Structures are given as C-alpha cells and as structure tokens.
Amino acid sequence: MHFTIQRDAFVHSVQHVNKAVSSRTTIPILTGIKIEATNYGVTLTGSDSDISIETFIPASDGEKEYVTIKEEGSIVLQARFFAEIVKKLPGEEIEVAVQDQFATTLRSGSVVFNLNGLDPEEYPRLPQLDEDNHFQMPQNLLKDMVRQTVFAVSTQETRPVLTGVNLEGEESELICTATDSHRLAMRKASVETKTGAMSLSNVVIPGKSLNELNKVLEDSTELVDIIVTESQVLFKFENLLFFSRLLDGKYPVTKNMIPDHAKTELVLRTKELLSSLERALLLSREAKNNVINLKTMNNSEIEVSSVSAEVGKVTEKISCDTMEGEELRISFNGKNIMDALKVIDSETIKIRFTGAMSPFTVQPTDHDQMLHLFSPVRTY
C-alpha cells in the first residue's frame, strides 16, 4: 500500500472513525484503525464491536484531488497513536507507505514516523445489511431527536433494554422513546420512506451508540439513510457509515403510561423555570435526592422551594402565563425536570398534573412532537 493524501481530509476522517475505537476492548486488532487504499480512494474503519464507523475519502470529488494512489493495499495502525500523529503532522500532504511485516511509514514535511502496523486480514468485516427496512431524514432532525431523548435512558444494567432508545415506526411517523422508569422522553417526527410504508417495532439502539452518532452528525439538512435489520442499525451519510448493534429484549409499552387528562395545568416560560430549578437544586443536591417542591398559589403564581437540613432553604415565586384547575402541592426530582427543560427549544411549556401522587407531563406549547413524563416523589 502506498498513497499520498490531503492532511485535513485525512485528519477529519480519522477523528470520525476513532470515535468507535475503545482502548478497553478485549480484541487486540480493534485497538487499531483499518486503512484500505483502492484506486477509488481510501477507506478507514474503527470499531469496538458494538459500534463500527467507516469513512471513505474519494481519490477526487471532481473539484479537488484528495488522494493519489501509488499502490493499493491495506494496514491496521494503533488508533491511539495514529489519530494523535496525523493531527500533529506539519505538512499539507501525508504520504503513507507499507513495507514488509506491516511496518508503515508516514511522511509529512521533514517528519518521518515509522510505525508498527497490524495484519489487516485479522480485522473483522463489517456486516452487509439487507436494505428492506429503510427510511430517511435530515441530519439535523436526527441529531435533535437523539439529543431530546437519549438523556433519559437508564444508566443501570439491571434492565439492559432501558439503556437504549426505542424506535417505533408506522406509515411515515417515527417515534423515539427513552425511559429509566422514573422519567420518560418521547419525540415524534415525519420521515421519508423509500420502500413503501415503514414498519418498525422494538428497535432499541444503545444510548452510548446514539451519543457517539450525535458527535458525528452535523447541523445540516442533508439526508441520512437509516437501515434497520434484526440485530443491527446502519446510518449512512456523506461518505460515512455508522453501524450499531441493537439491544435484545422487549421494550416496555409506554403509550398507556401517558395520562390523557389533567387536574391542574400550567403554562410557564421555559428558561424562567429552568433557572429556578437550578437554584433550588443547589440545596436539594446536598440532600442527595434532588427533591424540589412546587405549590400553586393565588394569582397564577407557583412557589418553588427546596430544603437542606444542613445548609438552609430556598423559596421562590414564579408567575405563570396561565394556570387552570385544582390547587396542588407536589414534589419531584428537580434534576430530571431540568434535563428535559434543557432539550425543549420552545419558549413556553405546558405542565399537566393529574394529582400529587400521579405522573405529570411537560410539553412545549408550540407543537405536539415532544412529551416528557415524570413520576412525583412522595414527601407531603
């Protein structure tokens, strides 16, 4: 293998595939990045066997030459060093050449790195996916859907299926749901299907995979192809393939959990409630339970308060845009509500309570594509 490549394009691709590489893998070859050069361009692959990322740098995109191939071939180089090295090389071009015994030379400016490579034949092949279940959506919409749900996945391995985000799809509507059984985040969107009506059910993508995916996704309206099989999901965009395994197990049915009525309904400014919870959490964080109390007052105000026996207490009044229904005193995990408020991009939210001991919902007021559900905490 022997080629020269534009440094910036190479660095960009290496950083992408490096996100899939884990230093804690038990499979030695997966500590490396696979580099494959053909006359069409250079393909890079990184994997931790749960996530695999493959990027392709074309020899030319018509406008610019990225790669000059002198000899086709492939090699695996230690990811940890290789990614740091290419970033720190001084020239605009990098020359990569493999000699005997996988010894590899990287040359740029007056710098020469001689690296010990690994046998590319040992590197596992990526799965070939059947493209039956196939739909599309813009990168920025996918990025939003992930951001607005993934924070709510469970971090505990007692119910592994809850550590992922569940995808359900019917006709052209996609629904993403995450829950740790104390709170639930749900986000809907319309997607484009290429193969007739989409039908997805119990497709659970690990939260960790989606967090890595979001680092690779850009705020662009370019379409992402999403291909789902029994055990794998593949996101395809802009010369990049992102594979993730799916979680086994039956995801709980969450539709029936969402109350269809409300006894008390508030409309509040999102940022005002968020700042108030941040202050209240300063004290309740100390008590380790993050409990915050909310009480409806006269004249459309609520009182937010929290107490720490050691430090003291905080009380604050917020005026609501509207308040309807019964009086209420309720306590909840303020950190959970704060997490949800941070991903709601709307200026105002609607909170619908069904009583002090029953779950309540938080939704943006300007669309119905998102819903957050919370269990209260018993204190009163």
Nearer to a second copy, 85 or 210 (CB): 85
* Cross-strand partners of 363: 350
Binding to a second copy by residue 271, rule CB under 8 A?
Answer: no
Nearer to a second copy, 171 or 278 (CB): 278
DSSP category for residue 20 = T
Give the DSSP H or E segment for 339: helix 334-343
Binding to a second copy by residue 357, rule CB under 8 A?
Answer: no
Which listed residue (49, 91, 112, 218) binds a second copy by CB under 8 A?
112
Angle (nearest 5°) at CA 197 between 195 and 202: 105
Give the DSSP H or E segment for 336: helix 334-343
DSSP 160-173: GGGGEEEEEEEETE
Which listed residue (11, 29, 59, 115) binds a second copy by CB under 8 A?
115
Binding to a second copy by residue 283, rule CB under 8 A?
Answer: yes
Binding mask 298-317 for a second copy (x = CB under 8 A): ------------xxxxxxxx
Binding segment toward a second copy, per CB under 8 A, in 108-116, 120-128, 259-267, 350-358: 108-116
Give the DSSP H or E segment for 33: strand 32-38
Binding segment toward a second copy, per CB under 8 A, in 51-59, 63-71, 104-112, 130-138: 104-112
Among residue numbers 41 through 100, which ones bind a second copy (CB under 8 A)?
A: 78, 81, 84-85, 88-90
Question: Residue 275 is which amino acid?
Answer: S
Number of other residues whose CB lies within 10 A of the CB of residue 324 = 13
3-state SS, one letter per residue, for 210-277:
HHHHHHHCCCCCCEEEEEECCCEEEEEECCEEEEEECCCCCCCCCHHHCCCCCCEEEEEEHHHHHHHH
Nearer to a second copy, 270 or 354 (CB): 270
Residue count (the chain): 380
Binding segment toward a second copy, per CB under 8 A, in 1-9, 24-32, 262-270, 273-281: 273-281
Tokens 């030695």 belong to residue: 28
To a second copy, the closest distance from the beta carbon of 283 in angstroms equals 7
How many residues belong to the site for a second copy (CB under 8 A)? 32
Q: Which residues bind a second copy (CB under 8 A)?
A: 78, 81, 84-85, 88-90, 103-104, 110-116, 275-276, 278-279, 282-283, 286, 310-318
